[in-house]
């Protein structure tokens, strides 16, 4: 079948949370039936900031288990570990040679991460600056048509498009120019402690997110402590961003339209709403975590190895084409 291809991935760092699931992975499950899908655990991206080696290994397999438990089907798509396909880093180096330093310096995520608490006490590495070039290599290596991203990643897709066009102009048509695949606004899940910022696995407070590995007691505690807006009415509107975010989580986990939720809690207060939201979250999380436990490490590793074997010929072919174009001896 001549279907369009999508590529996406998540870093094995921090704790994957409901925002990652609702904003990305849940949608990937739907997309895998419509597109030629490649999903990656991007461990090379993770080491752009310091990582504990044992924790990185553990988190890499945990992310893969989350993909599988969520419904990503290795029979329908390719799932692999980024570092298992060396062509990613080879293409990144080549793309580095046509990337301009000012283009990287203006990346919003680089500016944000370079002053964040986890890197503020060390020298900023070149890897963090070059992060978008590696992301471009990930995407361009597979002739990707569409990249499912949030608005915060649009800058990275734009530089990917810029590099692809620049290479094509200089060396001849080589790369497909990818397009961003933007999710609906409702899929943007904000922090439980700050509705103005996205839920983040690297947040300083664990009360920012609900991790996909949190137990029932922790989930209930976090939802109970989640910030709300002034007043007591359960209404879905921009004027109540904290409540709107909680309703979005409720809606996406229960497949209930926000306006129905609003109606359900007419004349009820935040306590009733939060208690029921906790029930909805726990009802989702228990079977999800049960599925995760069904995958032992060896089984997951075999799936990841098979995924790498499936995509490697695509990566090898594209990299050889690139090398020939730039004048390398093959």
In the set 59, 65, 113, 222, the catalytic residue is 113
Strand-pair partners of 197: none
Whole-number Å distance between alpha carbons of 244 and 236: 5
Angle between helices 126-140 and 154-171 (to 10 degrees): 70
Residue 318 known to be catalytic: no
Residue pair 252/26 in contact by the 8 Å Cβ criterion: yes
Residue pair 277/287 in contact by the 8 Å Cβ criterion: no
Residue pair 63/292 in contact by the 8 Å Cβ criterion: no
Structure token pair of residue 227: 């910030």
Whole-number Å distance between alpha carbons of 260 and 253: 14
CA angle 309–310–313, rounded 5-degree value? 85
In the set 201, 240, 274, 318, the catalytic residue is 201
Phi then psi dihedrals of residue 132, to 5 deg: -65, -25
Residue 289, H or E segment: helix 270-293
In the set 59, 198, 240, 318, the catalytic residue is 198
Nearest CA to 246 out of 256, 152, 286 is that of 256
CA 173 to chain centroid, in Å, comes to: 29
CA angle 214–148–56, rounded 5-degree value? 45
Residue 325 known to be catalytic: no
Q: Would you report the helix, strand and coil content of the chain in percent, each value rounded to 5?
A: 55, 10, 35
Residue 324 known to be catalytic: no
CA 137 to chain centroid, in Å, comes to: 17
- Return the number of other C-beta atoms located less than 10 Å from residue 190's C-beta: 21
Active site (catalytic) residues: 113, 198, 201
């Amino acid at each position: 079948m001549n279907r369009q291809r999508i590529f996406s991935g998540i870093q094995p760092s921090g704790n994957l949370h409901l925002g990652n699931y609702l904003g990305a992975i849940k949608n990937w499950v739907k997309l895998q039936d419509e597109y030629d899908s490649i999903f990656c655990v991007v461990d090379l991206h993770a080491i752009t900031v310091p990582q504990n080696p044992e924790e990185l290994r553990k988190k890499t397999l945990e992310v893969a288990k989350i993909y599988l438990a969520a419904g990503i089907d290795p029979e329908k798509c390719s799932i692999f570990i980024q570092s298992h396909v060396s062509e990613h880093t080879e293409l990144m180096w080549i793309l580095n040679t046509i990337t301009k330093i000012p283009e990287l310096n203006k990346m919003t995520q680089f500016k944000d991460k370079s002053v964040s608490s986890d890197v503020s006490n060390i020298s900023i590495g070149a890897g963090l600056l070059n992060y978008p070039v590696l992301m471009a290599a990930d995407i361009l290596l597979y002739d990707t048509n569409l990249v499912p991203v949030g608005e915060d990643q649009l800058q990275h897709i734009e530089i990917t498009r810029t590099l692809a066009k620049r290479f094509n102009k200089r060396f001849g048509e080589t790369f497909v120019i990818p397009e961003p695949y933007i999710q609906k606004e409702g899929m943007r899940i904000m922090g439980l402690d700050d509705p103005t910022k996205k839920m983040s696995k690297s947040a300083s407070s664990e009360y920012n997110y609900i991790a996909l590995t949190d137990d029932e007691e922790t989930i209930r505690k976090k939802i109970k402590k989640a910030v709300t807006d002034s007043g007591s009415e359960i209404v879905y509107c921009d004027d109540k961003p904290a409540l709107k975010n909680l309703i979005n989580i409720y809606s996406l986990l229960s497949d209930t339209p926000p306006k129905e939720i609003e109606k359900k809690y007419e004349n009820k207060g935040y306590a009733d709403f939060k208690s029921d939201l906790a029930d909805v979250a726990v009802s989702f999380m228990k079977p999800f975590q049960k599925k995760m436990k069904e995958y032992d490490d060896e089984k997951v590793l075999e799936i990841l190895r098979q995924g790498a074997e499936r995509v490697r010929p695509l990566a090898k072919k594209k990299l050889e084409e690139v090398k020939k174009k730039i004048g390398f001896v093959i």
